[in-house]
Copies of this chain bind each other. A is one copy, B any other.
Amino acid sequence: MSAVEPRRVIATVCLSGTLEDKLAAAAAAGFDGVELFENDLVVSAASPAEIRQRCADLGLTIDLYQPFRDFEAVPPDVLRANLRRAERKFDVMEQLGVDLVLVCSTVSPDAVDDDELAAEQLRLLAERAAARGMRVAYEALAWGRFVNTYEHSWRIVRRADHPALGVCLDSFHVLSRGGDPALIRTIPGEKLFFLQLADAPQLDMDVLQWSRHHRLFPGQGAFDLPTFVGNVLSTGYRGPLSLEVFNDVFRQADPKPAALDAMRSLRLLEEQVGFPVAAPAPELSGHAFAELTVDEVAGAKLAETLAALGFERTGEHGSKPVQLWEQGGARVLLNAKAETPGTAVIGALAVETGDPSSSALRADAMHAPVLPRTRGPQEANLASVAAPDGTEVFFCSDSWLADFSGAGASPVPGLGITGIDHVALTQPFDHFDEAALFYRSVVGLRPEPIAEYAAPFGMVRTRGVVDPTGSVRIALTGTLVRRGEWAPAVRDPQHIAFACEDVLAAARALRERGAPVLRVPDNYYDDLDARLDLDRELLVQLRANSVLYDRDEHGEYLHVCTEILGSRIFFELVQRIGGYAGYGVPNAPVRMAAHRRQRLAADG
């Protein structure tokens, strides 16, 4: 593919706010230009000339004015009105300094099914545009009344045969209908005037509603955009790659992170179609550590619990109030920098890479916010970036351990913990899809399918992001609807799940040690018995030790949780038997209800 980077454009309709908010966010995220959505202009107090100036000041071009609807294949009186309407819009475009207008295939009851007439009238429009130095990009809406495939729009454009008339391709309109993107190669690149990109989850619903509410940025949905874009580029198209995403969540989310999310999606797509983006994500070899940010009180409780879990306090940081706790390959840092009483949150997670500087380079190229860091002169230089939920993500080799000096031994024997299995982060509502894309593009993790389930306080979805070798797993959880006042006792719990060789034995030991193990109700085990007909003795042991159980076609999963410690942390011990690759999702509602009971009991 070409090594010349494409122009990166975003439609203002992708972002929330006034036009001013949108332009500022697009510029800050590094976009080269925007598609100006008409309604964003209509509600603005700035004149088109002022918008043009604002864009210039921000370093943004306006690449497309859109949409112009219901133009073609109409009776003469409607055509007259439509041409008048077009001239008024050309006036606006002139002041904006934009020379390309998007015309969507008609959905008007005034239109007729007549390709010849459509071509003739579009040619007329192209002549009017050309007279003003402008061009027209004709797009087949997936729900167009007569024209709803790109092949059809191209036939009409070809028939109209005017240099100022070309095709606009929109990946959603093509892929939502199961269109074959290979045929795109039959269109000459110079007749492709514009390329709009959107991904979407695979939904079985009315295509108009799907398009209006559920589009996603590339890489967040189910569409094969690399193949689609590859076909477009092979025609010789060298115009912008432009994002046009209608999404209920993005429409009301802070436009600044949303624009960064959009940019990341575009950079990843560029990489997939052959444009080099800094370094590829280096291979990972595991979780280096997870760091908990705590205050003194919660820190003491967590330290006590880590000790009960068999962790050894192996080090103190040279210059910061940070303890290192280890067992097997699992390392937890307790950083007592929090001032709010009771604070216990996952402040950072660290992945092991053989090449931290490549990781940092890639993170920067993928627009991950690099975090400033104070360090002593002898301390390891750890690169870190902020994930969408604010969690700090470190890329490190093992040199960071040198920052810690030895400390006391563990009071009790270990429990067979061998490492961190996964870190589970509850995502803020607006950032669920953004988070998966962040870990994919920046860290090189692969998003797993989304599991959706009914929890006691609302619908929840979970997806893992996992490195190709399975050594790094992060479980992302979010609600389907943003929660209001009515909510569980613990908001947005987070946890660290430790891989354990024998969860039942560990759970027994925890019980003996009086550790704060989360109590699982009998009803759960009665249901487990009814559903799975487990071995009697196993069921007795699970029940006696509050161990949760799941199985799939590949294997089994045993897991036990602690109570919530501090504001929103718990630990989990997990045992994967056979090829089980999930996270015990069917048990999540049981755990959530139990944590609520724990908290209500503590409060009451």
Q: Which residues of A contact B (CB under 8 A)?
A: 13, 16-18, 38-48, 81, 84-85, 88-89, 91-92, 203-206, 209, 213, 248-249, 251-255, 428-430, 454, 456-459, 479-487, 519, 521-524, 526-527, 529-531, 533, 589-590, 592-594, 596-597
Contact A44-B457, Cβ < 8 Å, known A38-B527, A429-B484, A530-B85: no
Question: Which residues of the partner chain B approach A590 to less than 8 Å between Cβ atoms?
Answer: 42-43
Chain B residues with Cβ under 8 A from A251's Cβ? 454, 457-459, 481
CA distance A129 to B533 in the complex (A): 20
A13 nearest CB neighbor, chain B only = B454
Q: Contact between B530 and A89 (Cβ–Cβ < 8 Å)?
A: yes
Selected A-B contacts with CB under 8 Å, 24 pairs: A16-B458, A42-B590, A43-B524, A43-B594, A45-B523, A45-B593, A45-B594, A47-B523, A85-B533, A89-B530, A91-B526, A203-B205, A205-B209, A213-B459, A249-B481, A251-B457, A251-B458, A251-B481, A252-B487, A253-B484, A255-B486, A430-B484, A481-B481, A482-B484
Please determine whether A18 and B456 come into contact, CB atoms closer than 8 angstroms: yes
Q: Which residues of B contact A13 (CB under 8 A)?
A: 454
> Roughly how many angstroms separate A593 CA and B203 CA in the complex, as a whole number?
33
B-side contacts of A204, CB under 8 Å: 205-206, 209
Contact A523 B17 (CB under 8 A): no
Q: How far is the CA of A457 from the CA of B531 in the complex (A)?
A: 47
User: Are B254 and A486 in contact (CB-based, < 8 A)?
Assistant: yes
Task: Tell me the smallest distance from the CB of A333 to a CB of chain B, in Å.
Answer: 29
Besides A85-B531, A205-B205, 13 new A-B residue pairs in contact (Cβ under 8 A), listed by A number: A16-B486, A39-B454, A42-B521, A42-B523, A42-B524, A42-B590, A44-B593, A46-B521, A204-B205, A251-B457, A251-B459, A430-B484, A482-B484
CA of A17 to CA of B597 in the docked complex: distance in angstroms? Answer: 11
- Closest chain-B Cβ to A426's Cβ sits at a distance in Å of 14
Q: What is the distance, in angstroms, from A597's C-beta to the closest C-beta of chain B?
A: 6
Question: Could you say which residues of chain B place their CB within 8 Å of the CB of A43?
Answer: 456, 521, 523-524, 589-590, 592-594
Alpha-carbon distance A53/B328, docked complex (angstroms): 49
**Cβ of A253: which chain B residues have Cβ within 8 Å of it?**
484, 486
> A457 with B596: in contact, given A41-B523, A45-B521, A205-B209 (CB under 8 Å)?
no
Inter-chain CA distance A248–B460, complex, in Å, is 10
In the complex, the count of this chain's copies comes to 2
Q: Which residues of B contact A597 (CB under 8 A)?
A: 18, 45
- Minimum CB–CB distance from A122 to chain B (whole Å) comes to 19
- Is there an interface contact between A248 and B481, defined as CB atoms closer than 8 Å? yes
Residues in B whose Cβ lies below 8 Å from that of A522: 47
A413 CA to B430 CA in the complex, in Å? 51
Specify which of B88, B255, B479 is in contact with A530 (CB 8 Å cutoff).
B88
Task: Give the docked Cα–Cα distance between A43 and B531 (Å).
Answer: 15
Give CA–CA (A89, B529) in the complex, Å. Answer: 10
Report chain B residues within 8 Å CB of A203: 205-206, 209
A252 in complex: contacting residue of B92, B248, B479, CB < 8 Å? B479
Taken together as a complex, chains A and B put the C-alpha atoms of A451 and B39 apart, in Å, by 17
Interface pair B16/A456, CB less than 8 Å apart? yes
**Chain B residue nearest in CB terms to A600:** B18
A484 to B204, CA, bound (A): 29
Shortest beta-carbon distance, A586 to chain B, in Å? Answer: 10
The answer to whether B81 touches A533, judged by C-beta atoms less than 8 angstroms apart, is yes
> Is B44 within 8 A of A523, CB to CB?
yes
Given contacts A16-B456, A459-B252, A523-B43, contact A529 B88 (CB under 8 A): yes
Q: Give the residues in chain B near A254, CB-CB below 8 Å.
A: 484-486
Q: Note all chain B residues with C-beta closer than 8 A to A48.
A: 523
Question: Least Cβ distance of A272 to chain B in Å?
Answer: 29
Closest to A519 in B: B45
Q: Are A88 and B206 in contact (CB under 8 A)?
A: no
Q: Which residues of B contact A252 (CB under 8 A)?
A: 457-459, 479, 481, 483-484, 486-487
Taking CB atoms, residues of chain B closer than 8 Å to A526 are 88, 91-92
Residues of B within 8 Å of A454, CB to CB, are: 13, 39, 251
Identity of the chain B residue whose Cβ is nearest the Cβ of A258 in the assembled complex: B486
**Bound: A17/B596 CA distance, A:** 10
Q: Which of A44, A255, A524 has the most CB of B within 10 A?
A: A44
A421 to chain B, nearest CB (A): 24
User: Are A18 and B589 in contact (CB-based, < 8 A)?
Assistant: no
Complex: A503 Cα to B141 Cα, angstroms: 39
Beta-carbon contact of A457 and B16 below 8 Å: yes
Q: Which residues of B contact A47 (CB under 8 A)?
A: 522-523
Kindly list the 9 A-B residue pairs having the minimum CB-CB distance in the complex, ordered from nearest.
A252-B458, A205-B205, A88-B530, A43-B593, A204-B206, A254-B486, A482-B482, A45-B521, A42-B527
Task: Name the B residues within 8 Å of A249 (CB-CB).
Answer: 481
In the docked arrangement, what's the CA distance between A312 and B252, Å? 41
Chain B residues with CB below 8 A from A487, complex form: 252
**Which of A92, A205, A522, A593: most chain B Cβ within 10 A?**
A593
Which B residues are CB-close (under 8 A) to A206?
A: 203-205
Residue among A454, A524, A533, A594 with the highest chain B CB neighbour number at 10 A: A454
A83 to chain B, nearest CB (A): 11
- Using Cβ atoms and an 8 Å threshold, which residues of chain B touch A16? 456-458, 486
Would you call B248 and A458 a contact (CB within 8 A)? yes
CB distance from A212 to the nearest CB of B (A): 8
Closest residue of chain B to A597 (Cβ to Cβ) is: B45
A531 / chain B contacts, CB cutoff of 8 Å: 85
